[in-house]
Every structure is written in structure tokens, then in C-alpha cells.
């Protein structure tokens, strides 16, 4: 390819990415307008495509940082008459004192998804890898899976028994037919031969009689114990598919069953989408990596939790680094990273050791989402740090971080990994759930029968509820009464089998 054509393609990709972000941010503005809260740009951008981190991006009292966010037993409902409603949806900038509008939850997810789609378009064919079957589990197909052979590729016996020709009784040959034998001798009318399951059917055969449905006499003749239908218990060539048939579409997840199907259809390797690379930066001087909490220090829950969670969402985690509250170390790590996605923990609000926003300002990042109207996890953020790279800033409280993962990281990684979007589904609540007056709430639930049962331990600093949960219920502003249908966000391990390598396996609920 010539230099001129490469530059042209790069310009087209940049235009496509900017267009996708424009479209996504328009959704945010429309959602805000429909919500009656104005239609300004994200993160104090004044209505532009996105805001630069240096334009004012901090959070005030809307939700505190890791060090100051309340760790209540539950996330108690606020009441409209108790405080200024703007406190919940318009965090103050810690440098200018201005306020900006947090993105509605569904619109923030749309922004993340479109950002991921644009980044995936830029990766293009460079993200495709042909891998052997034993390394393809959990990846997504980069091309349709077409049969390379008829399945089965020849007429085979579906059962152990006798293969017969014509009407009975039949004279039984001495030597039987085993699986793996090529081109057995044809049968004449009135003949039978013992056959094993999977063995090739001889030419001119009419049916297979199961072992339990026939008997032989002392003269070596076979008698059927029930009626024999033509073609019974014979798997005809091409019964499952013909060579060239499309078995699975592009974007299908490679599950253990898909590996079996691919092997049966003649594949030794598959063309797949390479996993996006993710790097995790753990912030906070107060975090311990072992032992009991002591002397004002707490155990780091996110360091052990995030890497396998990101792998379950389709990412390859290249490193997990603990940086403490060191702004220089954070800046250096962000500048040096070549990951597709950087995930930070804590430091997204406006406290004295919250360094994420200043760091994004120094690298001239585009803030695509700066605060989301969701509880817990309000001060989460999404930024484009450079071409082809994004950063998701998670709050430091554990359940708030989970909220950020499923709100911003999951849609972005899904697009980068080429995974299909799951159809949303709703389940009635078994009990009432308190709501925030303005913001969406994500509440851990278990699904029992046809109902979703809200779990008790759902405060922003708690993991006890999510550890027992099947998913998170999306509770609208104002709450939901018992019996109301609410959307459920599945947790990745509730539908993905765990791989032996710690989470590289993935599986959709179904392909059709």
C-alpha cells in the first residue's frame, strides 16, 4: 500500500471515530433534554464533541472519592425535599466552581459502546488472528464458520446392532463393521452384518436394527422383534449440514461446543478477533495486599477482582500495577501504556489525592463521559487518552467500581472484542427497591424462578451482595415496587464458563 493511500485510510478512520463519538454524545444530550435537565455537552464541554480534561472536570459532593464515599449498610434513598437536586446530578468543578451535567446511565453506556465500535474499526484487520482450536476458546469469530465438509461425511450407523438389506429374516455375515473402516462390502437382499455406532453403512443397506430389537437363531439368521422402517437408525450423509453451509455468523463466541462443531466441520484453526489489551492501575496509599486491615489501612479488593472480571468481558489483562497516590507515577503510567484500555481505581472525584482528572488534563485527553447519573458509581469516567486508546476511571469503592465496569468498560470491551450485544431482558422484582430521586440505581439481585430478589448488602463499599448475585437490577429514578419489570445486567460468569486459565472462556446464552 502506498504512503498516500495509508494516510487517506487513516484520515477516514479518524473521521469515522469522531462521527461515532458525535452520534453517541448526541444521545447524551437528547437524554438530558428529555429528562428536563438541559442539553449541554458532556463534562462541561459546552455542547461540543467532547471536553478536554483541562476544561474543568472534577466532582464535588455528588459522590465522594474512595477515601470519602460513605460506606453505608445500604444506599439509602434521598428525598427531593432534603437537599438541592443538583447535588445528585451536577458535580462542581474543583478548580472553577462551575457545574456540569452527569450523563444519564443509558446514554453513558451508548457513548462507551460507540467509542468501542470506532476504536474497533481503527484496529480493523490488525485485530484478527488465526489461532489453533486449542487456543480459540473465549474469542469471537472474525468470519462466518462455514462447513468444510458434509456432516456426517458419509452414511453412518446411529446405533450398535445389525445393518440389513431388504426384508428379513437375514443371514448374518461373520465379520462385523467397526467405526473407522473404509468402504465395507455391499450387502445383498436378505443379508445382515453387525455394525458399531459411527461405522460406515455399506452400499445397498436399507436399515439398522438395534441390538435390543433383534435376535439370532442357531442357524445364524437374524429376526426383527419389531417393524423395520426403511432408513431407520441411519444418519445420512449431510444430515446436519452440507459443505459450504454457514454454521455460525461473524461475532459468535467460541464456546466448547463451537470448538467441537468446528473440528467436526474440518477446521484446525479459526480466524478470530484478538482480545483487546487492558492495563489496571490501582491507586491509593491506604491499600494492603495481604493480611488483616490495620492502623487505618484496608485490603485492596479491586486488585484481585478486576483482572479476572476484565478477562471475562473479553480483555487480555497485560499488567496490574499498584501506584499509590502518586500523581507523577500515574502520569508516567498513562503516558507509557500501549494498552487498548487503561482502567484506574479511585481518584476520580475532587479530593486532595484524586489525581485522575489532572492526569487526563496533562495528556490532553478527550473526556467522553465525566460522571454518570447512577448509584453507586456516580464519579466514573471515560476518556480517549490517545488515538486507539481509552481510559475508564472507576470509583474506589468496590460496588461502585462494579457499576463502572458494567456501565462503561463492558460496552467498550464488547465492541473491541467483536462480541455481539445481548438482547436486554426484564424480570419482575420480588420486593420493592428504594430509588434515588434523579439517578438510576444498580442493585445486586438473584434470579429465582421468574422473579429477581434484591440483595440486602448493596452499599457502594460492599461486595457481599454482588458476590452472591446473578446480576444487577437497573432500578429507575424513584425506585421500583414489587412486581415491576426491571432490566437485568448479567454478570459475565453467570453465562460464561470459567476456563482453566482463569477466565479466558466465554459463551453466549445462544446463537439463534
pTM of the model: 0.73
Residue 76: is it exposed, middle or buried by C-beta count within 10 angstroms (0-12/13-18/19+)?
Answer: exposed
Show the beta-strand stretches assigned E in 133-288: 140-141, 145-146, 156-157, 161-164, 170-172, 191-195, 207-210, 214-216, 221-224, 234-235, 246-248, 269-273, 277-282, 287-288
Determine which helix (DSSP H) or strand (DSSP E) holds 9, and give its type and residue range.
Answer: helix 3-34
- Answer for the pair 247, 265: CB distance below 8 angstroms, yes or no: yes
- Answer for the pair 509, 495: CB distance below 8 angstroms, yes or no: yes
> Rounded to whole angstroms, what are the CA distances from 416 to 119, 122, 192, 323?
7, 10, 58, 27
CA atoms within 13 A on the CB side of 474: 16
CA–CA separation, 88 and 68 (whole Å): 16
> Rounded to whole angstroms, what are the CA distances from 8 to 14, 103, 115, 128, 300?
10, 34, 21, 22, 47
- Answer for the pair 317, 278: CB distance below 8 angstroms, yes or no: yes
- Answer for the pair 100, 90: CB distance below 8 angstroms, yes or no: yes
- Answer for the pair 237, 151: CB distance below 8 angstroms, yes or no: no
Residue with cell 489525592: 353
Would you give the DSSP letter of residue 422?
P
CA–CA separation, 247 and 448 (whole Å): 34
CA–CA separation, 268 and 315 (whole Å): 24
Tens-binned pLDDT, residue by residue, of the chain (512 aa): 434 444 444 444 455 445 545 554 555 555 445 444 433 333 333 333 455 565 443 333 333 333 333 333 333 333 333 333 333 333 444 333 334 579 999 999 999 999 999 999 888 777 899 999 999 999 999 999 999 999 999 999 999 999 999 998 999 998 899 998 888 889 999 999 999 999 999 999 999 999 999 999 988 899 999 999 999 999 999 999 999 999 999 999 999 999 999 999 999 999 999 999 999 999 988 887 778 988 889 898 999 999 999 999 999 999 999 998 899 999 999 999 999 999 999 989 888 888 999 999 999 999 999 999 999 999 999 999 999 999 999 999 999 999 999 999 999 999 999 988 888 999 999 999 999 999 999 999 999 999 999 999 999 989 999 999 999 999 999 999 999 999 999 998 764 433 333 333 333 332 22
Dihedrals φ, ψ of 450, to 5°?
-100, 5
Q: Report the pLDDT value the prediction gives residue 23, as an integer from 0 to 100.
A: 52
- Answer for the pair 22, 15: CB distance below 8 angstroms, yes or no: no
- Answer for the pair 402, 443: CB distance below 8 angstroms, yes or no: no
Computed on alpha carbons and rounded to an integer, the radius of gyration of the chain in Å comes to 30
Q: Report the pLDDT value the prediction gives residue 69, as an integer from 0 to 100.
A: 39
- Answer for the pair 142, 202: CB distance below 8 angstroms, yes or no: no
Which of left, alpha, beta for 199 (phi over 0: left; psi -120 to 50: alpha)?
A: beta
Beta bridge partners of 392: 343, 382
145 three-state secondary structure = strand
Beta bridge partners of 287: 298
Q: Buried b vs exposed e over 157-185: b needs ≥16 C-beta within 10 Å?
A: bbbbbbbbbeebbbebbeebbeeeeeebe
Which of left, alpha, beta for 77 (phi over 0: left; psi -120 to 50: alpha)?
A: beta
Cell numbers describing residue 370: 465525566
Amino acid at each position: 500500500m502506498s504512503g498516500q493511500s495509508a494516510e487517506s485510510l487513516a484520515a477516514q478512520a479518524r473521521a469515522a471515530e469522531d462521527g461515532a463519538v458525535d452520534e453517541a454524545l448526541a444521545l447524551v444530550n437528547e437524554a438530558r433534554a428529555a429528562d428536563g435537565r438541559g442539553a449541554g455537552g458532556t463534562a462541561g464541554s459546552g455542547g461540543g464533541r467532547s471536553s478536554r480534561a483541562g476544561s474543568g472536570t472534577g466532582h464535588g459532593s455528588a459522590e465522594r472519592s474512595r477515601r470519602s464515599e460513605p460506606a453505608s449498610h445500604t444506599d439509602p434513598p434521598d428525598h427531593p425535599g432534603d437537599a438541592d437536586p443538583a447535588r445528585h446530578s451536577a458535580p462542581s468543578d474543583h478548580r472553577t466552581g462551575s457545574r456540569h451535567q452527569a450523563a444519564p446511565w443509558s446514554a453513558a453506556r451508548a457513548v462507551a459502546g460507540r467509542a468501542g465500535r470506532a476504536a474497533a474499526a481503527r484496529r480493523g484487520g490488525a485485530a484478527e488472528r488465526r489461532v489453533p482450536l486449542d487456543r480459540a476458546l473465549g474469542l469471537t469469530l472474525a468470519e462466518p464458520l462455514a462447513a468444510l465438509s458434509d456432516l456426517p461425511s458419509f452414511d453412518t450407523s446411529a446405533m450398535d446392532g445389525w445393518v440389513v438389506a431388504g426384508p428379513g429374516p437375514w443371514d448374518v455375515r461373520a465379520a462385523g463393521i467397526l467405526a473407522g473402516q473404509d468402504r465395507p462390502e455391499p450387502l445383498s437382499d436378505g443379508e445382515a452384518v453387525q455394525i458399531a455406532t459411527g461405522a460406515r453403512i455399506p452400499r445397498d443397506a436399507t436399515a439398522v436394527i438395534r441390538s435390543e430389537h433383534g435376535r439370532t437363531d442357531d442357524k445364524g439368521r437374524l429376526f426383527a422383534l419389531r417393524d423395520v422402517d426403511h432408513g431407520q437408525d441411519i444418519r445420512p450423509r449431510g444430515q446436519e449440514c452440507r459443505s459450504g453451509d454457514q454454521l455460525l455468523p461473524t461475532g459468535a463466541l467460541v464456546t466448547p461446543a463451537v470448538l467441537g462443531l468446528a473440528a467436526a466441520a474440518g477446521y484446525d484453526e479459526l480466524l478470530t478477533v484478538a482480545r483487546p489489551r487492558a492495563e489496571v492501575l490501582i491507586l491509593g496509599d491506604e491499600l494492603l495486599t495481604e493480611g488483616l486491615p490495620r492502623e487505618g489501612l484496608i485490603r485492596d479488593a479491586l486488585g484481585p477482582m478486576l483482572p479476572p472480571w476484565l478477562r471475562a468481558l473479553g480483555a487480555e489483562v497485560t499488567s496490574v500495577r499498584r501506584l499509590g497516590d502518586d500523581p507523577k507515577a500515574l502520569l508516567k503510567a498513562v503516558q507509557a501504556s500501549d494498552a487498548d484500555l487503561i482502567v484506574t481505581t479511585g481518584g476520580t472525584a475532587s479530593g486532595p489525592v484524586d489525581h485522575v482528572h489532572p492526569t487526563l488534563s496533562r495528556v490532553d485527553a478527550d473526556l467522553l463521559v465525566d460522571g454518570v447519573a447512577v448509584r453507586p458509581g456516580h464519579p466514573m469516567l471515560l476518556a480517549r487518552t490517545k488515538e486507539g486508546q481509552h481510559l475508564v476511571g472507576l470509583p474506589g469503592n468496590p460496588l461502585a467500581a462494579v457499576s463502572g465496569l458494567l456501565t462503561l468498560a463492558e460496552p467498550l470491551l464488547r465492541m473491541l472484542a467483536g462480541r455481539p450485544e445481548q438482547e436486554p431482558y426484564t424480570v419482575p422484582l420480588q420486593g420493592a427497591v428504594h430509588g434515588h430521586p434523579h439517578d438510576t440505581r444498580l442493585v445486586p439481585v438473584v434470579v429465582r424462578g421468574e422473579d429477581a430478589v434484591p440483595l440486602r448488602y448493596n452499599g457502594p463499599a460492599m461486595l457481599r451482595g454482588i458476590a452472591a448475585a446473578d446480576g444487577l437490577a437497573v432500578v429507575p429514578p424513584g425506585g421500583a415496587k414489587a412486581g415491576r419489570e426491571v432490566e437485568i445486567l448479567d454478570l459475565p460468569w453467570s453465562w460464561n464458563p470459567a476456563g482453566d486459565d482463569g477466565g479466558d472462556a466465554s459463551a453466549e446464552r445462544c446463537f439463534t
